[in-house]
Structure 1
Amino acid sequence: MKVKDVKFFNRMIKDFGNDKQFGFAKEAFERISRAGLSPNVYSYTNMMNAAARVGELEFMRTLWDNMALNCDEQANEVTYTVLVKGEAQSGHLKHALGRVREMIACGVEPNARTYSTLLRNCVRYSDVERARECLDLMRERGAAPDATACEYYIKTMCGELLVQQTLQFMRDIQNQDGIEITAASYVALATASSLVFADEKTARNACRDARAAIDVGGWAQEDDNDDKFQQQGDDDSSAPSKSVQLFLQLRAKDALQEIDAVEKYLNDTSEERREEIAVQASSGVERASNVIFVEDAQDMNVHERNARWLARFGQRKDVRVEVCSGHGDWITTRAGRSTDVQWIGVEMRRNRVALTWMKALRLNVSTNITMMCGMAHNVLRREIPDESVQEVYVNYPDPPEWVGSSQVLVDGAFLNDVHRILKPGGYLTCVTDDSTYAMRMCRELAKVPGLFKSTEASGKPFVSGVPDDYGASYFDSMWTNGAQNDRYFIKYSKL
């Protein structure tokens, strides 16, 4: 079939990209030139979006450079927004903000999605400075921050326990801008202030206001298609999809659980103990003694690594590691149940590390939990010595974004490092709700038969369901509430 219009390919690239079918999107993009056509700005935008959605940052940057050289059309606000999204979600927030300033200099005005994608990632990477600069830029451009933008800024500040600044900001936007504070903003304030202030008044008021906001549906407006490119003429109905409705229900449930947890902490913890915790919290997560930020560097000194470990943990006999600790529900519960065990949580997202640290303080388990923030491969290699860990748990890892992705957690390199750090007879346990990823992990384990063997008497690589006493994570609870109940349990012992 001879195709005369590039729009045919643009639609394919867009649809494949939105479905995270990066390989197919790339093939459709390459077919444009083979059909004797030239990619236009929509072709490049759609392909950049496909790359951004699966974390292929360098590919996205190369496309941007190629578009500048080979495309006669100028980048529009959607193209720039995709570029900002790719940079921001990879943690390059300063660069992402620079892209926003660049688009303004080129005469392209940022839209609401441009700002929101930057601010949302400021929350994930706890970048208060960049979030503040983004809000200042919005005001400078005459785009007054709305409730969603303010929520992102509040959550970013609360993640760093900047409670006084948060309170002042909330007063300002209410009195000067007439903005209604969202339920999620009050929840974030309740969590942070309960730890920072021994006086419980601020936290209790925030809990009260959060419940009131939840009752009236006081949530920021989330855009179901925020990371998906929509061409002119596409259906852009404002009616929320079923997935968004479910997400909002889960969000409300999660918020109420957090409010209950804060109120329980205030009710059950003496003022004297809260004062002690406030002193610990005053240093912030950046300087917390039980939080380690692991830089992504190539050099690694074994002797220095072992010395750091000895200084932190001494000769602890039972050390266990959770990779992908998420919001910290599983590891804090297990730490409270097994106080004689030294627990280490490995998580790449800084805001989740901060959440876990706060929960550990609140639950009085911070003495036997250490959080390591960084990419799992790097953390294991740089921070954990040989034969020092009794068990490694991998709970609900994100499946690869696309079939050919190199961004895979459980691969040969990871399994070799897990084998190295495990003591003789130690265990690797993996849990997922994704049957395809369960099979992929089992295939990776089958490639290294000299390292591990299944603990199942039948020799099966995995079983359906998890043990009753295993514990639940945030994502396990979320998928259960969403009626996604399949679980796959993989347990192997070190050979």
Structure 2
Amino acid sequence: MAKRKKRPWLDASVVRNARARDGEKARERRERERAFREKCPERFVEEEKERESERERDARARDGDFKASTSGRGGRRNDREGADGRRKGHKGDGSPDDSFSTDPRTFPTHATFQTREGLSNDALEWRRSRVEAVTKDIAMCARHKQLRRACRAFVQLIEDGMVPSSYTYASLLNAYVNTGSMDGAEALMERMSEVGCAPNVVAYTTMLKGYMLVADVDAAWRLLEGMKHPVAPDIRAVNTYIRVCVRCGSLTMARRAFERVRDWDIVPDETTHRLMGRLLAQGLRCDELKSLIKSVKKNEHLRWTLDPSFGHCQFWCAGKCERGANCRFYHDPSIEQVDASARETDVNDMLAHLYVNHAHATAMSGDVKQCFKSLAKAAESFAQDDDGNAAGLKDRDERAELFRQTSRDELKREMKRIKAFAERLKNGEQKAPNLDEHFARSLIFSSQILQPPERGSTSSEEEVSAVREHLYSALKDTMGMSDSERKVKRAIRKVISEDGTIRFDRMFSHRLKKDERELNLEVAAGNGDWAVAQAATDDSSDWISLELRHDRVYSIFSRAVFSGASNFAAMGGDAAYVMRRYIAPGSVSNVFVNFPEPPHHSGDAAADNSLALLNKEFFRDIHAGLKEKGGLVIFSDNHRYMQSLARMLAGMDLFSSRDADVTSREPAELYETIDGVRLYQGIPGPLAGHRVHEQSYFDRFWENGRHVDRYFLSVGKVA
């Protein structure tokens, strides 16, 4: 049926009947699964065990007991790699599956679709049930990042004479994406077309998610632009693409999609506006952001739902329309909706985010008056939400609500931070920010996850020149720096030496005095809260926060500006690539990693993840970059993952455990020894390089989720 065509036959009873039919189909599907399980119980033994133990394993992974009694208490004080990834990473546990090829081009061929020819109804039903069951197995492997197991199940299905469905392909595609194997995902998309299984919008959105994880905005745009009828872009695909742009800091590419939504018959929603607001703020486009807010408040983006000429939406008349602003029919505002409170909350949250972003951009630009106005508007949006809409959220998913509440708390923290900075400027307690000085100390390398160069290789003169030009262009394109800042360009030229490595003595001008100062580097730094607090506490040392995602790099940069610290700098890029290519040997005093992301959150040793940062190659690069007697400190709430890292470090003979203390400055007496490496329980103190305890965003998030145990490794470089 053509878009916006009236459907006079659709009323509330039809809606109820449609939902009843959906329920009946779900029951029939469950019955088919039950029948297949009864016929072939042996195929589901492992799945049942997996389901029974999944919660228990997740609990052990984060909140497992710290068995000090068994180990002692007390004592002394992301270019590409082959076909499957951009970076070498965690590749499972050495099981037989590790030798199985994950290249889709090696998979056996199959028929385009399952025919009835020569099959009884029972046989056809059995095949359908079998495909559904294997599809669920593959989906579970995708969630656990078990790519090889997923591929083995897929190949076995074909070898048994079955025909994978589009859902089977979509589940396998998700396994490639979740493990960062975008080359394999692209090959699988090509295979789908070859066998006549046309990718649907879910497959395209999954691919966009993958390009977001590897920050490949150009590939994401080619994919989005290539979506044609009957699989045209929808709002979810557009939002996923703009998220890619946010990760890369590409306002120009995001604008391109935002301006095309009308051509695609799409209406921007709350998520779209929130993402665009973030990018405009990062680019210091204060006037554009202000215009966006006005447009949203006037509902200028709505096309059909406010126009009665498009006919009444019968789902809306029945009490709830899932399509929201992208419905092609009129939404009568006089009809009460079941989810009205939740929708109003989403709108208020969006406006609060937009106003806070505007306040942030105006504060960075030194416009204190406008900053206070935007903060007041943000507070009004929160007040409207808190007054009457909390009750409408009770039916939301618990995890989604936890994430939403944590995001709101973080936004309120951001408001306090911006307000405190603006008040210091207003009262003359702090000088207006000189952005040039901070730009000159900010190095924004590529957000893409690339295969690091060969260890010991050097950069050519042309490559060094290209790096300098990229760093300058990145500040203009993603951070709002004026094109006329030649002073910054000269500073960048001095910071990047002739061999392509970073000269930290040029980055921090006080180092030219030849005084001996520690240089501390935090990798995977998140929003930079921790390193900023350390720099404020210890001004005799220099601190750098290195983060992959550009939106977080900008948060780090703003913290440097607001603090006014001259001993702190922000860096953006893939830590594995930066450590090997740009960090000169013996130039860093300490490296800190706070709350690293494990290959899989369940702690599954069989998980594949080419995006995993902490591996032996990265630890070798850290060892090379550290000064003599330099240290590495890793802090996390994931006991099992920390145990695996301790074993990895123990097997390398590059580091040895150091004495440590906790935040109370008491010796860290609770630890377990893993192959000679101590894994401490508690929060690290000054001996481990943590001058002051400062909660990061991840620390607060997991604490809200009741993950309160903490563990850390403190090791020193062995020459």
Considering the TM-score relative to the shorter chain, is it more than 0.5? Answer: yes
Amino acid at match of 2:634: C
Question: Which segments of structure 1 move beyond 6 Å, counting only runs of 4 or more?
Answer: 271-275
Contact 1:372 1:379 in 2 (8 A): no
Out of 247, 257, 269, the position equivalent to 1:134 is: 257
Give the match's secondary structure for 1:177.
coil
1:303-342 equivalences under 5 Å are 304-305=499-500, 308-313=503-508, 314=512, 315=514, 317-342=517-542
* Aligned counterpart, 2:642: 438
Aligned to 1:190: 359
Displacement of 1:168 in angstroms is: 1.9
38-47 or 311-320, larger mean C-alpha shift: 311-320
Cα offset, 1:425, TM superposition: 1.7
- Native 8 Å contact 2:150 2:175 kept in 1: yes
Residue 15 in structure 1 maps to residue 170 in structure 2: no
Query: Which AA in structure 2 matches 1:318?
Result: E
Alignment match, 1:280:
435
Counterpart pick for 1:292 among 440, 443, 447: 443
* Percent of aligned pairs sharing the same letter: 24
Change (3 A) 1:418 1:452: farther
Letter paired with 1:194: A
Q: Deviations over 1:345-378 (max 9, x none)?
A: 111111111111101111111x211222111121
Q: Please tell me whether residue 254 in structure 1 is matched to residue 410 in structure 2.
A: yes
Question: What's the TM-score, normalizing by structure 2?
Answer: 0.61
Q: Which amino acid aligns with 1:44?
A: Y
Describe the shift of the 1:463–1:453 C-alpha distance in structure 2 as closer, same or farther (beyond 3 A). closer
The aligned counterpart of 2:627 is 423
SS of residue in 2 equivalent to 1:398: coil
User: 1:83 matched to which residue of 2?
Assistant: 207
Q: Which residue of 1 aligns with 2:338?
A: none
Task: Using the TM superposition, give the Cα deviation of residue 29 of structure 1 relative to its aligned residue in structure 2, in angstroms.
Answer: 1.7
Verify the 8 A CA contact 1:126 1:156 in the aligned structure 2. yes
Q: How does 1:306-385 map to 2 (within 5 A)?
A: 308-313=503-508, 314=512, 315=514, 317-365=517-565, 367-385=566-584
Do structure 1's residue 241 and structure 2's residue 241 form an aligned pair?
no
Contact 1:139–1:145, Cα closer than 8 Å, also in 2: no
Give the AA of the match of 2:384. Answer: V
1:119 aligns with one of 239, 242, 250: 242
In 2: Cα distance, 1:125 partner to 1:444 partner: 32
1:174-224 deviations in Å (ceiling 9; x for gaps): 33617855222222222121111x332221122112122223339xxxxxx
Q: Aligned equivalents of 2:550 and 2:654: distance in 1?
A: 35
Task: Choose 328-337 or 127-136, whichever is displaced more.
Answer: 127-136
Residue of structure 1 in register with 2:282 after alignment: 159
Question: Does the 8 Å CA contact 1:319/1:391 hold for their aligned counterparts?
Answer: yes
Q: Which amino acid aligns with 2:242?
A: L
Q: Is the 8 A contact 2:293 2:354 kept in 1?
A: no
CA contact (8 A) 2:535 2:543 kept: yes
Counterpart of 1:76, as a letter, is N
Aligned-partner residue type, residue 280 of structure 2: M
Report 1 or 2 for greater relative contact order, CA contacts < 8 Å, sequence distance ≥ 6: 2
* Structure 2 partner of 1:100: 224
In structure 2, what is the equivalent of residue 32 of structure 1?
157
Separation in 2, partners of 1:18, 1:416: 30
Q: 2:696 aligns with which of 465, 473, 477?
A: 473
Q: Which has the higher mean CA deviation after the structures are superposed, 35-44 or 168-177? A: 168-177
Q: Gaps (5+ residues) in structure 2?
A: 1-39, 44-125, 303-346, 387-392, 460-496, 601-605, 661-668, 686-691
Q: Partner of 2:596: helix, strand, or coil?
A: coil
CA root-mean-square deviation: 2.6
Partner of 1:426: helix, strand, or coil? strand
How far off is 1:430 after superposition?
Answer: 0.4
8 Å contact kept, 1:305–1:385: no
Q: Distance in 1 between matches of 2:260 and 2:280?
A: 18
1:19 deviation in Å? 4.3
Q: Which letter does structure 2 place at the counterpart of 1:385?
A: A
Which amino acid in structure 1 is aligned with residue 703 of structure 2? T
Q: Name the CA distance, whole Å, in 1 between partners of 2:658 and 2:530.
A: 23
Q: What are the superposed Cα offsets for residues 374-421 of structure 1, whole Å, 9 maximum, x if unpaired?
A: 111211122222222221111111111462323332222122222222
Cα separation, 1, equivalents of 2:357 and 2:149 = 40
1:309 and 1:385 in contact (8 A); partners too: no
Give the TM-score, by structure 1 length. Answer: 0.87
Query: How do 1:55-70 residues align onto structure 2 when only pairs under 5 Å count?
Result: 55-70=180-195
User: What 5-or-longer segments of structure 1 have no aligned partner?
Assistant: 219-236
| 1:417–1:25 Cα change, 3 Å | same
CA distance in 2, matches of 1:108, 1:407: 30
